[in-house]
Chain A
Amino acid sequence: MTGYLLRHLQVFFYTLGQLTRAPIASLLTIAVIAITLALPTGLYLLIENVQRISTGLDGSAKISLFLKADIDHATAEQLSERIRQILEVATVEYISPKQAMAEFKRLSGFGETLDTLAHNPLPPLLIVQPSRTLDTPQKLDDLVKRLRANGEVDLAQLDLQWVKRLHGLLQIARRGVWLLSVSLALAVVLIIGNTIRLAVLSRREEIEVIKLVGGTNAFIRRPFLYTGLLQGTAGALAAWALVSLCLSLLAGPIGAVADLYASSFRTEGLDSYGIAILAGVGALLGWLGSRIAVGRLLGSLEPR
């Protein structure tokens, strides 16, 4: 068992040595893989960040509760106090019919006309600001239903149209990133497969001789698999570096826009979990590409 591990380690470092001995070729391959992987990674981060903006913007989704017209001042205050106790509610503002009328007069310019009305037709209004933990339209909807269940409430309205639309768009974009990722993953397999294929062809004689003196296919594959694995991993880490660089360049302008909305929003890169996944995917794709490339040659060398 230790002998087996030792041999793997030997091949691993031998491969590492081979790669550093041909730095230009390895770097080119790694760069191509980096760019290929950076594209879906960058788009993924973009979507995640937009998602956070859409839920993070203060005052984006307010719920208007129109109370029944016969609700008096004290009952409205009581209700607003009860709602304030709900965990998912950040603030509640009570606007009496009188205040509403004054506001309406000021904004509409119908001042005198409205004075001729026998009584104030506007209902009492509670404006509820949901807490930030409600970050999906679904959760917001649930809160609205709960508020609507109060007997005093005549109409509960949530201006969610743009949030819903944005979420729909994000959903589409996410699916798009998945499709893009799959096709670019295929591209990485092909890139590494081709690199390894050339390496395999240039060592075809050596491979034939190794087979003739009793080398197993696993023995022959090993250095090539390590090459693909290392190039894939290096490409993935380079992709992460590339994306991080782009994000840091964008951080300034994005911060400025966020400030306009009085939001504390800041762009976020990949966390360590994300980096590990990216590196793992790179390694896997590299391994797969070289496995296919070597497998084809080895298959052609089997006796018929």
Chain B
Amino acid sequence: MIQFNNVSKRYAGGLDALKNISFELAPAEMAFLTGHSGAGKSTLLKLITLIERPTRGQAIVNNQNLSRVTRRRIPYFRRDIGIVFQDYKLLHDRTAYDNVALPLVVAGVRDKDIGRRVRAALDKVGLLKKERAYPVMLSGGEQQRVGIARAVVNKPPILLADEPTGNLDQALSDEIMDLFHDFNQVGVTVLIATHDHRQVQRLGKHVLELKRGEMINDSSPGSVL
């Protein structure tokens, strides 16, 4: 589902954020992306979502070669990828319902379908009762769940998360990670960047470890480190 072949990323400042990265995630696989701060985790996720372009190498996501996805095609490409952010990136002047509806609205889904699908997504993350609440009225964990509902509302085959539990306590982190696990169980390919080794160990999934832009560990579950 996601395949990198010798991908490098050099930022405008001259810094090599990623060097010769190669890995592969199969469809419906779940994986953790770990590494110290500044290792290049966010950069790797940005390449997958075409927020940044690779400097070298070939990346294939959802059967599309990223170098062939033109500017005009990027929005349509992104509709197949759900993204969850550490800082949630919710719109503060809109209710939870409107935030979750956003991916459907921009895709031109009809109003009556929107209602049904938004409520299904909110229900899945356990926030159906809070659909009229504005983000400031929600706790951090609730805001993150709104962000997750928004990421999955149009049923993308790929779900990415950049430190989704960075600001949450252990119990909430467990809840959020279990949610991702649930989506993976129904066939979504999930890649989560995280510092949280407890979660990595708890769920026992494929682990990709970065260090200063290099892939130092690519271990499938069950393999010996």
Contacts and interface: CB of A to CB of B under 8 A. Distances in A.
B36 interface: no
Interface string A179-216: 00000000000000000000000000110111111111
Contacts, number: 53
Contacts of B71: 302
B106 A215 contact: yes
Contacts of A216: 72, 75-76, 106
B83 A212 contact: yes
A303 B51 contact: yes
7 contacts: A3-B110, A209-B91, A212-B78, A214-B76, A214-B79, A214-B107, A215-B102
Given A214-B75, A302-B71, A219 B106 contact: yes
Binding site of B, secondary structure by majority: helix, strand, loop or mixed? loop
B52 A303 contact: yes
Contacts of B51: 212, 303
Interface in B101-123: 102-103, 106-108, 110
Counting chain B CB atoms within 10 Å of each CB, the highest count among A3, A7, A211 belongs to A211
Interface string B85-110: 00001110000000000110011101
A212 B89 contact: yes
Given A3-B110, A7-B108, A209-B89, A214 B50 contact: no
B194 interface: no
A304 B12 contact: yes
Contacts of A304: 12, 52-53
B74 interface: yes
Interface of A: 3, 7, 205-206, 208-217, 219, 302-304
Closest 10 pairs (CB-CB, A-B): A215-B106, A214-B79, A213-B103, A214-B78, A216-B75, A214-B75, A303-B53, A209-B89, A303-B50, A303-B52
A302 B91 CA distance: 21
B108 A213 contact: no
A208 B150 CA distance: 15
B49 interface: yes
Given A3-B108, A206-B91, A213 B53 contact: no
A109 to B, nearest CB: 90
B60 to A, nearest CB: 17
A15 to B, nearest CB: 15
A257 B82 CA distance: 75
Q: How many interface residues does chain B have, given as a range?
A: 20 to 34
B219 to A, nearest CB: 30
Nearest to A299: B71
Contacts of B91: 205-206, 209
B108 A210 contact: no
Contact of B106 (A213, A302, A303): A213
A129 B212 CA distance: 96
Interface string B6-21: 0000001000000000
Contacts of B102: 209-210, 213, 215
A304 B78 CA distance: 16
Counting chain B CB atoms within 10 Å of each CB, the highest count among A206, A208, A213, A217 belongs to A213
A57 to B, nearest CB: 62
A211 B75 contact: yes
B53 A214 contact: no
Contacts of B108: 3, 7
A304 B11 CA distance: 9
A215 B49 CA distance: 13
A284 B107 CA distance: 28
Given A302-B71, A303-B74, A304-B12, A212 B106 contact: no
A302 B50 CA distance: 9
Nearest to B107: A214
A213 B52 contact: no
Contacts of B50: 303
B18 to A, nearest CB: 15
Nearest to B12: A304
Contact of B78 (A7, A208, A213, A302): A213
B75 to A, nearest CB: 4
